[in-house]
Amino acid sequence: MSFLVILLALGLLFWMTLNKWSPFLALLAATLLIGLLNGMPVPELMRAMEKGVGSMLGSMALILCLGAMQGKVLEKTGAATVISRYLMDRFGRSGIQWAVLLMGLLVGIPLFYNAGFVILVPFVFTIAASAKVPLLYVAIPMASALSVTHGFLPPHPGPVSLASIFSASIGKTMLYGLLVTVPLVWIAGIEFGKRFRQFGTIPLMEEKEEQEQLLPSVSSSMVVALLPVLLIALPALLVNFLPADSKLLQLTQAIGDPVLAMLIAALAAGYFLCIRRGVSVQVLMQYYGAAIEGIAVIMMVIAGGGALKQVLTDTGIAGQVADFFTQYAFPPLIAGWLVAASIRIIIGSATVAGITAAGILAPLVVSSGVSPEWMVLSVGAGSVFCSHVNDTGFWMFKEYYGLTVKETLLSWTIMESIISVLGLLLILLLSNII
């Protein structure tokens, strides 16, 4: 009965997604269906949904809002542009793939996927035209870097919400995610991108005069972009080398608390990229306000995922699914990937796929004793599998680069699948070593 209810709920999610319903409303509808089919009284069902929304947003709303504020400042002040141009100058034409890859990583860590994609697309066209290479040769490394940060690295909404559901350390998740990221972007971005060296059209260089705005320095741009990664990941790294009573460790752990780290990063971005360069406080507050408005839709999707997770828990469905995987000795990390990948293929949204899978499998983490941080990454890997025509990322990549559906399937979809499958293999390998 439990699996039938889940299938019906996923079917409703699929139908509503296909008909362009809001993911937030689709998740709430699926949650109501699950609760009602399991005989939950309506008042109890409403309380469970409220509890799920509150517990989910209570642990992550500040992180997401502060991360969005930092990213918006990087975008509006041109710091992301500065980083991109600097890397291109340093690597030159012979290393354009690596330059674009690092652009994607540095811009993708503080910015959400769509914002990072839109910012970097003009650079892809300019670089491809100046180096006289096909667009996809440099577009694939950029897209792979953005996808990896979106699926594996906090403070992106997907990994942060999964860490909340699985009660995982965000610092460890970020550290482990960085270990997985390096080989992933090399293979999915650089090596896979090389197959397009002779494929597709070479864009023409447009001669146009640009009125250059006063941009921030390279050093301040890079430090601000990487600050949250350094603050959050450093304590997780130092804990292996310093005694528990070390004052340095205690200080870094205090500063590395995800909320405080993101607050420091958002304030640092405002001061060094705006206030110090003559931007008024009023304009800075407009940037911050626009950032929070932009994250509101994503936060409501995550809130819907919290309601779904709570109802799955209260009805006992999540526990029954966990018992099924435990009974048949199914490796938890593989189970997490499979469930997330299946939902991703059906629904399209990586964030919805990850949150839904985590809600179903949350009890499995407790019963199996698997590391919650590696579980976050395995579900994250599954959530980016096989992006196709029901995913907005698929259509963004297709339209911006002027590809056919077939060409997009042979480039974007394969790249996403490489990230997903290879990511799982690396997670399985590293989880047995660390």
The number of C-alpha atoms within 13 Å of 46 and in the hemisphere containing its C-beta is: 3
342-368 in b/e form (b: 16+ CB < 10 A) is: bbbbbbbbbbbbbbbbbbbbbbbbeeb
pLDDT of residue 213: 58
| CA atoms 161, 164, 170, 174: torsion sign | negative
Q: Are 33 and 12 in contact (CB under 8 A)?
A: yes
Residue 378 has pLDDT above 90, yes or no: yes
Whether the model pTM is above 0.75: yes
What per-residue confidence (pLDDT) applies to 182?
93
Domain boundaries, the chain: 2-201+217-431
pLDDT at position 210: 42
Least confident of 37-41, 108-112, 126-130, 325-329: 325-329
Q: What confidence score (pLDDT) does residue 308 get?
A: 85
pLDDT tens, 158-181? 898 899 899 999 989 999 999 999
Q: What mean pLDDT value characterizes the chain? A: 86
Alpha helices, H only, 239-316? 247-255, 258-273, 281-314
Contact between 68 and 113 under an 8 Å Cβ cutoff? The reply is: no
HEC profile for the chain?
CHHHHHHHHHHHHHHHHHCCCCHHHHHHHHHHHHHHHCCCCHHHHHHHHHHHHHHHHHHHHHHHHHHHHHHHHHHHCCHHHHHHHHHHHHHCHHHHHHHHHHHHHHHHCCCCHHHHHHHHHHHHHHHHHHHCCCHHHHHHHHHHHHHHHHHHCCCCHHHHHHHHHHCCCHHHHHHHHHHHHHHHHHHHHHHHHHHHCCCCCCCCCCCCCCCCCCCCCHHHHHHHHHHHHHHHHHHHHHCCCCCCCCHHHHHHHHHCCHHHHHHHHHHHHHHHHCHHHCCCHHHHHHHHHHHHHHHHHHHHHHHHHHHHHHHHHHCCHHHHHHHHHHHCCCCHHHHHHHHHHHHHHHHCCHHHHHHHHHHHHHHHHHHHCCCHHHHHHHHHHHHCCCCCCCCHHHHHHHHHCCCCHHHHHHHHHHHHHHHHHHHHHHHHHHHCCC
Q: Is the pLDDT of residue 114 over 50?
A: yes
- Kindly state the tokens that stand for 335: 């189970």
Whether residue 184 is predicted with pLDDT greater than 90 in this model: the reply is yes
Residue 156: both structure tokens together: 């992106």
Helices and strands, number each (H, E), in the chain: 21, 0
Q: CA-to-CA distance for 325 and 363, rounded, in angstroms?
A: 11
pLDDT digits (tens, 9 = 90+) for 249-300: 889 989 988 889 889 999 999 999 999 999 999 999 999 999 888 788 888 8
pLDDT category at 59 given cuts 50, 70, 90 is low
- pLDDT at position 124 is 85
In angstroms, the CA 227 to CA 221 distance is 10
Q: Which of 163-172, 300-309, 315-324 has the highest mean pLDDT?
A: 163-172
Backbone angles phi, psi at 23, to 5 degrees: -55, -35
Is it the case that residue 236 has pLDDT exceeding 50? yes
Which tens digits make up the pLDDT trace of 6-33? 888 888 888 887 787 888 898 899 899 9
Give the list of residues 6+ apart from residue 27 with CB closer than 8 angstroms, or none.
13, 301, 304, 305, 307, 308, 352, 355, 356
